[in-house]
Amino acid sequence: MAPVCVGRFGYRPDERTIRWARQTAARSGAAADAGDGQMNVQLLLAQVHPQDRAALAQALAGAQRFCLRVRLPDGAGAERTLILLADRDEGEPGSEIEGFYVDLTDELAVQRKALLDDALPRMVETGAQVEQAVGMLQLVYGVTAEKGRELLAWRAEVTGLPVGEFAARLCAAVAGEGAAAPAATRSRVDELLLTLHQRVGADRRRATGVGGGAGR
């Protein structure tokens, strides 16, 4: 698991300055001081991600506890994702805000890598199997891709299996049949494999009006 950077922050509305003290806490509980600092709140808001700016400004100006996700650049210009949790003295507008933050950037990077390395390939494989199954249904039943997907989803629902798993099982079962396809079907596919390039050329000529008596 990735280390999580945690720290405390404070904001005094009368000074319009936000200050923070940071620590980098590993999962093991070991901590190392990572420094502190302060910044004018207007400068901070100018750097916050545009989609998070209004919510943070409203939270700082309000009288309620808040928990927000904000994105802002670090010293190197890389975007950081922080969770801010704050309270107010007596919950009065204009009172000092005290709270702490958790920097989830490294944790999110680990999760994204896990998605790319593990989950995403499985999703791509499942999608490919679904499309393969749909293609088989189109060939056998002469339906559109949309109808093929509806048929696949219906059978998956009836059997209580996820669509991806049902499609994978169907593809595996059909692949195991080998040469069991009807001779007429195999003959038709053979013909298309050998002559499809000729059809494409003829279609292009008709579309451009070249040959075939165009303009007569």
Residue pLDDT, tens place only, 29-66? 333 333 457 778 888 888 888 998 999 888 888 877 88
In whole angstroms, how far apart are CA 133 and each of 129, 149, 159? 6, 9, 16
CB of 20 closer than 8 Å to CB of 8: yes
Range from 2-6, 23-27, 43-47, 194-198 that averages highest in pLDDT = 43-47
Q: CB-side exposure of 39: number of CA atoms within 13 Å?
A: 13
Percent of the chain topping pLDDT 70:
67
> Looking at the DSSP assignment, which residues form a beta bridge with residue 100?
8, 85
Query: What kind of architecture, by CATH, is found in domain 119-177?
Result: Orthogonal Bundle (1.10)
Helices (H), the chain: 41-47, 50-61, 105-114, 120-141, 145-159, 163-177, 183-208
Range from 56-65, 115-124, 161-170, 183-192 that averages highest in pLDDT = 161-170
Are both 4-103 and 119-177 of the same fold? Answer: no
> Token digits for 178?
């080998």
195 versus 128: the higher-pLDDT residue is 128
- What is the reported pLDDT for 6? 76
Domain 4-103 grouped into CATH 3.40.50.1980: no
pLDDT per residue as tens digits for the range 149-169: 898 999 888 889 888 888 988
Domain segments of the chain: what residues? Answer: 4-103, 119-177
Q: What is the pTM of this model?
A: 0.44
Compute the distance between CA of residue 136 and CA of residue 150 in angstroms, rounded to an integer. 13
